Structure 1
């Protein structure tokens, strides 16, 4: 059962995202799995100053709205990811400064592994989704498909999506995603990336696992 404590935690996490300038004004949206339902920031809401009356409660399986609050236009991919990924509890769509600049580049990076934090936390590969109209079924389908086996993606001329098991993991992914893009932009394209062997060493010696 969703309680007031759940709502207050969701608001606090939304405000943290805003305080970090991962979203501004009405950009971006956030969702959180609680049992068979999800809290989703409401359509037109401002994530940095989200209020309880703008939080939608949706059934994950059916998309049915349980409290009369219309969810974000991007709820299609939020709920789709939660349906496809039982390991995921939080989904964040954000539009931070440098990562969104990269999303609008004609020649986008093919490798974001500029520091160890990227393969360790953001993902060794970051799919780039073509532009689809925000809120469209085409965008929702493309995002859900890409997120079946990735935790971070870039949306052309739009923004970014990250997912994870909890709020801290998602926040960390988003922040390191933005950090990598800041390095890429501020280096004016003159940057190096980790080699496959260096990434494999991270898997073994830092994360304690072998590369798939």
Structure 2
């Protein structure tokens, strides 16, 4: 995809982050793998005034062209460098995910949709000062084998192969966080066992490839359309 188109789509996704309610003000940031480097949102610029030309082009050595990049460029760079399976890193301060992060709570498999992040839990990374290498290191640990994590006393990170996928996951993490916070008012909810979550994740992977949750051949009777 051409960089110009990527920049346009990044601006659109950033604005949708705000309209969806998972982000506000100048909080949050977004990056996309592009060629031998990546594109990232600039520092301190509100999304409603940001233009495609404001998006910053960075190399993995930390050099950049254009405006100053987001203060969180380190974890964007390190995640994209370490995770060849994804191309997009989305970070936001969504309210319920951040509420849990303030208590350093991992989201357990209280609901089967926890599996969308790739495992039986959505981990919370240890706290580290924003913009530091320590925060990047903590995020990488929490994201091992996962597509999303919370950041202790900070916010959330969601990953994806596409901008749309990363935004969808970030909204889902926020929805799960809200449900978990509400469930906790009744006490710690029961969690699904690991073997069930393995089945859930396997079915999610099948369905992401366009198949149904049933094993192949178990429900393959197709009825012809009536004339």
What is the TM-score normalised by the length of structure 2? 0.81
> Matched residues in 2 for 1:202 and 1:131: separation?
30
Inter-partner Cα distance in structure 1 for 2:117 and 2:45: 28
Describe the SS at the equivalent of 1:63.
coil
2:220 is aligned to none
Structure 2 distance, partners of 1:148, 1:50, is: 32
Is the partner of 2:175 in helix, strand or coil? Answer: helix
- Confirm or deny: 8 A CA contact 1:113 1:180 kept in the other structure: no
Equivalent in the alignment of 2:38: 38
Question: What does residue range 112-131 of structure 1 map to in structure 2 within 5 Å?
Answer: 112-121=108-117, 123-131=119-127
Q: 1:172 to 1:24 in 2, by over 3 A?
A: same
When residues 208 and 8 of structure 1 are mapped into structure 2, their CA distance, relative to the original with a 3 A threshold, is closer
User: Whose Rg is larger?
Assistant: 2
Q: How do residues 4-153 of structure 1 correspond to structure 2 at under 5 angstroms? A: 4-47=4-47, 50-59=50-59, 61-66=60-65, 68-105=66-103, 108-121=104-117, 123-153=119-149
CA distance in 1, matches of 2:111, 2:50: 33
What's the secondary structure of 1:141's corresponding residue?
Answer: helix
CA deviation string 1:112-149 (max 9, x = no partner): 32322221346423222222111122112222343343
Query: How far did residue 110 of structure 1 move?
Result: 4.0
Partner of 2:216: none
2:152 aligns with 156
Q: Which residue of 2 aligns with 1:195?
A: 193
Structure 2: segments with no counterpart, 5+ residues: 208-227
In the alignment, which of 170, 186, 189 is matched to residue 174 of structure 1?
170
- Matched residues in 2 for 1:147 and 1:36: separation? 23
**Structure 1 Cα separation of the partners of residues 35 and 29 of structure 2:** 20
SS in 2 for 1:207: helix
The two structures have a TM-score, normalised by structure 1, of 0.86
Counterpart Cα distance in 2 of 1:196 and 1:116: 11
Structure-2 change in CA distance of 1:13 and 1:111 (3 Å): closer
| CA-atom RMSD in angstroms | 2.2
